[in-house]
Structure 1
């Protein structure tokens, strides 16, 4: 595969930082409205968050339409995962249509969440609650999202060609949203340290952190789509 260029820096650097700043501004200017929107899990918030992985799945579907993808079965399998996993995440956030379709789930289902969603990975079997699962997912995304771009920069391809593994590695495009996800935990740290900074403490950390992990998936898919499109165009 030939060498390709990534997304424009304004898309992956400026937009996440501006959006993160707007969230903090929202929390500072209208604390009650902020808490009602994020912590109250309004229908608008749930739909907006679910839309992020749905767009990611759409990008994966778009990549599966590139003929060049089918020259490598590993890439096809990877893109199928990128299609299925975001749809599962979106379905979980939307409660698998439970509220919309008025369907029920058996009480013995180990992944039944208190707020009416069905967790993709049953947590009780692993002895974990939803907050622990979020923390693990965040740690995994941050570790992968930071490590692989740095390795790719330190160890550039000797042939100038993009191999399969280097193609699917996260790039620097993903780092700003991961930083925002990490910084979303700052309110919890401030509260635990008892620093008495209410403007920071009132910022929801778990929901915002999860949202930026979804953005990580979106930026990853967008970056891969953009690079595969260049390869397809030859």
Structure 2
């Protein structure tokens, strides 16, 4: 579903990603972990077409999308849940969700997708007329994920979904992400909570200083020396 090969990205003269390569198979959930500043969010933004990259190749579903602008990347079945949620605070939950189905191809299945979002996030059904800005942080994260699902993606990119959430709400969000994966959506998860990421993902990549420092089945990385040194500082 996703193939990234030799990706380089910069902020000015500072190199943020260096020859990063990874894959996400059809229906698979893959995590990217690493310390702050490792390049995790830059990776998500580069795949989504939101941050330019100088070299490398990105393919989604076998189609080369290298250099495709962000508003065209979504037409290839990619949806992003950004860090910080970025919901439209003065708009209702319903209107925020409808924006996710803005693309012409997503509008036809609007009602069915809305029902599926409410099945995954029952809290949103209860608050459908409520302004998004009055939701709790966890509920806003649910809304951001639901909005992305309204686009009918085949690949979902999530950037730090647990950031700033209380543990009980983090549990709810990750339980829902498991349900999303069970529906056949491929997921690339960037996450600071290592244990939750490793529990959810089939495979995991470790980023350190913009490079892939380790990769493999999540169960194998849980006790690896690379993870202890790079993320835990041990």
**Which TM-score applies when normalising by structure 1?**
0.26
**Structure with greater helix share of residues:** 1
Q: Which of the pair has the greater relative contact order for Cα pairs under 8 Å at 6+ separation?
A: 1
